[in-house]
């Protein structure tokens, strides 16, 4: 399952890269070998879905190919569990590709089938189905959150938390608590964000999950950062780095670097800020995490603007626009237009600044068409 990363770049809303590339390739080779000998039955469906999981981040088109093959085979076999599993995987892949409406539809299809199968399942299978229902709530969240639909995101996070609580799934509960904290953070509800991040931290400490402990300290630090309490922010970031630098998966470590970059920026230590921002960007690019890249690029552009290196700022904003639009991440598209307007203004190009500001407002209005929608609007301005 995935856990949402504060600052909108996703802290394990996403299944994390907790394995090395070498181990992943070995697993892929083994699954492909199995695929060549397995019969046309549910075992082959499961193998295809397992292969899709391995390619989900690095090669989403390949992941979608295996998932659709699993869906086609399970449909021919009239295997409703296989159909549901394939649709759930497709939903997760669509979230990575920015095809959010399709992702929500696919996850809802999976939910319908899981709930249909649940009443007649054996006790053992009932537990497995409930885990998959929780995963489906998480998949819907993955597709709702980037669209700024925080009320619905909260609804499905709470459903996931309740389901995982009934299963005694402490790891899943910790991730769900983290996501609820993140959603509250994006609505500037900092007390509730701290409440849920702290609940997530306690569960991770019970499990001895150092990577998750570090990531949550980073999130708590971010809440203090947004409240202007840089001392507490620095304290929590330091704990996160100390605990997690050797334990965290690469994407979570990148998230921590992003947060540290923001803190150094705020303290006007621009070279240090760039060091952390570029470290995060390198990880995102290496892992093919295109969804996260625009935020790092915008942060780099902000620092260059503060250093009056406007050509460099423009270069990184251009890249930010390209990657944000490729993933259809509305929040990051808006963020890029906001920063482009600031850059234009700093260079005296007020006509373009106004144009870009109005475009940013048009994206903001997508979030505010419904009174329950909020923009995760906590980004730093240029002084």
Give per-residue pLDDT as tens, 81-104.
999 999 999 999 999 888 999 999
Q: Is residue 271 part of a domain?
A: no
Give the separation between CA 194 and CA 91, rounded to whole angstroms. Answer: 30
The pLDDT-based confidence of 4 (bands split at 50, 70, 90) is low
Last residue in a domain, options 130, 150, 170: 150
Return mean pLDDT, the chain.
88
Q: Identify the CA nearest to 94 among candidates 23, 142, 30, 135.
A: 142
Domain count, the chain: 2
Contact 193, 150 (CB under 8 A): no
Q: What is the dihedral of CA 137, 142, 147, 152, to 10 degrees?
A: 20
The residue behind tokens 């991040």 is 197
Question: Is the pLDDT score of 208 beyond 70?
Answer: yes
User: What is the tens place of the pLDDT at every residue in 14-60?
Assistant: 333 333 344 478 888 898 888 888 899 999 999 999 999 999 888 89
pLDDT at 143 over 50: yes
Domain boundary among 100, 133, 150: 150
The average pLDDT across 260-276 equals 96
What is the pLDDT confidence band of residue 1, given thresholds at 50, 70 and 90?
Answer: low
Q: Which of 184-188, 193-197, 271-275 has the lowest mean pLDDT?
A: 184-188
User: Are 331 and 376 within 8 A, CB to CB?
Assistant: yes
Nearest to 176 by CA among 159, 195, 193: 159
Tell whether 335 is covered by a domain.
yes
CB-CB contact of 183 with 153 (8 Å): yes
Give CA 360 to chain center in angstroms. Answer: 22
Domain-located, residue 237? no
Average pLDDT over residues 301-320: 97
Residue 296: which CATH number? 1.25.40.10
For residue 18, the tally of other CB atoms under 10 A from its CB is: 14
Q: What's the rounded Cα separation, in Å, for the pair 358 and 353?
A: 9
The H-or-E segment that residue 50 falls in is: helix 42-55
Percentage of the chain modeled with pLDDT above 90? 72
If pLDDT is split at 50, 70 and 90, which confidence band does 376 have? low
- In this prediction, residue 360 carries a pLDDT of 87
Q: Does residue 252 sit within a domain?
A: no
Q: Which domain holds residue 361?
A: 292-383
Residue at which a domain ends, from 115, 150, 185: 150
369 domain-assigned: yes
366 falls in which pLDDT band (50, 70, 90)? low
* 3-state SS assignment for residue 95: helix
- Can you tell me the distance from the alpha carbon of 46 to that of 346, in angstroms, rounded to the nearest whole number? 55
> Under DSSP, is residue 187 helix (H, G, I), strand (E, B) or coil?
coil
Whether residue 176 lies inside any domain: the answer is no
For residue 181, tell me if it sits in a domain.
Answer: no
Task: Please tell me which residue, 165 or 97, carries the higher pLDDT value.
Answer: 165
Give me the residue label for tokens 């390949």: 62
Positive or negative, the CA dihedral 29, 30, 31, 32 is positive
DSSP 373: -
CA-CA distance, 106 to 129, in Å (whole number)? 17
Q: Supply the DSSP string of 266-314, one letter for each residue.
A: HTT-HHHHHHHHHHHHHHHHHHT-TTTHHHHHHHHHHHHHHTT-HHHHH
**What is the value of pTM for the model shown?**
0.78
In a domain, 175, yes or no: no
């Amino acid at each position: 399952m995935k856990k949402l990363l504060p600052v909108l770049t996703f802290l394990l809303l996403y299944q994390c890269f907790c394995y090395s590339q070498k181990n992943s390739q070995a697993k892929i080779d083994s699954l492909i070998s199995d695929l060549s000998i397995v019969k046309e039955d549910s075992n082959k469906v499961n193998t295809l879905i397992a292969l899709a999981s391995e390619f989900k981040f690095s090669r989403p088109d390949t992941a979608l190919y295996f998932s659709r093959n699993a869906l086609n085979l399970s449909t021919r076999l009239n295997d409703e569990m296989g159909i549901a599993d394939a649709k759930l995987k497709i939903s997760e892949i669509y979230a990575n590709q920015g095809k959010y409406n399709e992702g929500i539809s696919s996850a809802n299809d999976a939910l319908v089938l899981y709930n249909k199968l649940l009443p007649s399942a054996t006790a053992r299978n009932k537990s497995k189905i409930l885990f998959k229902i929780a995963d489906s709530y998480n998949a819907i969240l993955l597709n709702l959150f980037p669209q700024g639909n925080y009320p619905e995101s909260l609804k499905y996070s709470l459903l996931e938390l309740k389901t995982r609580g009934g299963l005694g799934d402490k790891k899943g509960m910790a991730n769900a608590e983290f996501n609820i904290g993140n959603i509250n953070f994006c609505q500037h509800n900092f007390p509730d964000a701290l409440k849920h991040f702290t609940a997530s931290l306690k569960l991770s400490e019970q499990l001895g999950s150092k990577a998750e402990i570090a990531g949550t300290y980073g999130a708590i630090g971010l809440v203090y950062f947004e409240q202007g309490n840089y001392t507490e922010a620095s304290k929590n970031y330091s704990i996160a780095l100390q605990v997690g630098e050797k334990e965290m998966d690469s994407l979570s470590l990148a998230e921590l670097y992003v947060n540290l970059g923001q803190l150094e920026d705020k303290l006007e230590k621009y070279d240090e800020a760039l060091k952390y921002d570029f470290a995060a960007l390198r990880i995102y690019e290496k892992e093919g995490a295109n969804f996260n890249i625009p935020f790092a690029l915008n942060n780099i552009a902000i620092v260059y603007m503060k250093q009056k290196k406007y050509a460099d700022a423009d270069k990184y904003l251009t890249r930010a626009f390209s990657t944000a639009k490729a993933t259809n991440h509305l929040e990051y598209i808006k963020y890029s237009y906001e920063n482009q307007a600031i850059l234009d203004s700093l260079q005296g190009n007020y006509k373009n600044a106004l144009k870009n500001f109005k475009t940013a407002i048009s994206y903001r209005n997508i979030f505010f068409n419904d009174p329950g929608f909020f923009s995760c609007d906590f980004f730093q301005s240029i002084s």
